[in-house]
Amino acid sequence: MGDTTNIEWADHTWSPWIGCTKISPACDGCYAAHLMDTRLGRVEWGPHGERRRTSKSYWRRLAAWDADARRAERMATVFPSLCDPFDNAVGVDLRLEWFVEIRAYPNLLWLLLTKRPQNIVRMVKEVGFMPPNIAFGTTCEDRKRVETNLPHLMVAAGLRPKFLFMSAEPLLEDLGDLTPWLGGDANTSEGRFERGIKIGDDGWPVLPALGQVITGGETDQGAHKARPSRYDWYRNVRDQCAAHGTPYLHKQNGVWVEIPKYRLGDPGEIVWPDGAVGRGNANEHGGAGVLMRRVGKKAAGRLLDGVNHDGFPVVPARPASLAPPQTAGAIP
């Protein structure tokens, strides 16, 4: 909830309300739920838990951040870290109040990451307008979520967000072939459009493409101990992004590091290609286990093969001379 964030990919964290319900394996180590359990202790998590609106003085911070960004002639990014923007338990009134603020501060770029992408279009339509300074993202920690969440995210492209992004954090298995989600060229303005949808040479709509992909490992949250993410899972995402020119950001390695050369019996855990953890039998899975060791977040760092990955889509700053939009943002 601080003014600035040490989250590697956003300038600020800010949440219109606090509270949520765990719905996905990635939620097992929910940072916000743990924060409520320990330090803040103000909101009960879960389907019957409350969703508490943050204070009026906290909401006023947005004006200062917007003014700073305007002076710096750059868009400042804001990430809601203590809620899911498209939570079913939050009604339209609060979301409308929030979207009015989003539209009022055009130098802030909102990174709306959700585990409920199936709700995006319906809930934005309930609000009644789409602010122009939003990027939509969804979490895909495993292949199942790639198959279920990304199609919903692509539909939300019709609302004309600044870009779409996928967060594979915590990455819990290899995500396989991401080509269908990286390869589209619907993000360019060239070509034929019908009612705002780009149409390919074959007459079918061109799939939008992800404008950014993020990976990361898991950290401990109270009783929940971080699960390891193999480096070859990260590398697969990194290399596919490179092949398609998609900005790639690797947030951090979690608390585990890979030990490249080891002998059985060395300290650590064998992590198998399917994510299973344990010594097991070296012949299982063709002997394809890697040795990983818990070293903590700081020591694990965020280098992947010696490189920091900080890819972010180009989002031009809003010209300072422009007044805040009064009518812009109607749903296309």
Query: Which residues bind to ligand SF4, rule: CB under 6 A?
Result: 20, 22, 27, 30, 32-33, 83-84, 115
CA 110, CA 118: separation in Å to the nearest integer? 19
Q: Which residue, 84 or 101, has its beta carbon nearer to ligand SF4?
A: 84
Q: Which residue, 9 or 231, has its beta carbon nearer to ligand SF4?
A: 9
Report DSSP state, residue 24. S
Q: Which residue, 22 or 235, has its beta carbon nearer to ligand SF4?
A: 22
Q: Tokens 């947030």 belong to which residue? A: 251
Which residue's CB atom is positioned nearest to ligand SF4?
20
Q: Which residue, 66 or 84, has its beta carbon nearer to ligand SF4?
A: 84
CA 170, CA 5: separation in Å to the nearest integer? 19
Q: Give least dist CB 219 to ligand SF4, A.
A: 13
Q: Give least dist CB 260 to ligand SF4, A.
A: 32
Q: Give least dist CB 158 to ligand SF4, A.
A: 23
Q: Give least dist CB 105 to ligand SF4, A.
A: 23
**Which runs of consecutive H residues, i.e. helices, occur in the chain?**
31-37, 56-59, 61-72, 92-104, 120-127, 143-155, 179-182, 231-244, 297-300
Report DSSP state, residue 274. T
CA 75, CA 69: separation in Å to the nearest integer? 6
Using alpha carbons, select from 131, 127, 128, 116 the residue that is nearest to residue 26: 116
Q: Which residue, 45 or 248, has its beta carbon nearer to ligand SF4?
A: 45
Q: Give least dist CB 214 to ligand SF4, A.
A: 14
